[in-house]
Amino acid sequence: MADLEATTKQDVLVELISSLKKASLIKSTEEVVRVILDREKLGSTGIGDGIAIPHGKMKDLDQVLCVFGRSQKGVAFDAVDGKPAHILFLLIAPEDSASTHLKILSRISRILRDQAFRKRLLELDSAKAMYAGVIEEDRKI
């Protein structure tokens, strides 16, 4: 997704997850929202520097799914630094994929460490360009 319209944590989760539903990758938007919000109760996935990586695991999933978007306005995500999230990656994984889930979270975190890349990601003009930028940055690692 390119620019997110939602302005609250729950609404941005619904917006991101709805894109998975629209692509027929999940059965229930509500179930995934519940899983992500249950995980958020353990501690915010707003990691600071304008980044949030909400994630969770589900029983009836057979592959890892990831969707990302950006919010130019920013979304309050209870980040450790108290700043709004502008770059959001949502990850949902099968319940039995702990190792893969952690590897992907780590890789996303590594990609987003570079401040210049984060700035560029916020400036790109389309979802396609954002996707290409993430793939390009991932290849550097």
In this predicted structure, the answer to whether residue 2 has a pLDDT above a threshold of 80 is no
Structure confidence by residue, pLDDT tens digits, 5-44: 999 999 999 999 999 999 999 999 999 999 999 999 999 9
Active-site residue 101, yes or no? no
In this predicted structure, the answer to whether residue 103 has a pLDDT above a threshold of 80 is yes
The contacts found for 98-102 with CB under 8 angstroms, 24 or more apart, are: 98/57, 100/64, 101/55, 101/57, 101/64
Whole-prediction pTM value? 0.91
Catalytic residue among 9, 55, 101, 118: 55
Using the structure block, give the residue that is written with the tokens 């996707």: 131
From the centroid of its chain, how far is CA 49? Answer: 14
Domains and CATH numbers, the chain: 9-140 (3.40.930.10)
Which uninterrupted H or E stretch holds 78?
none
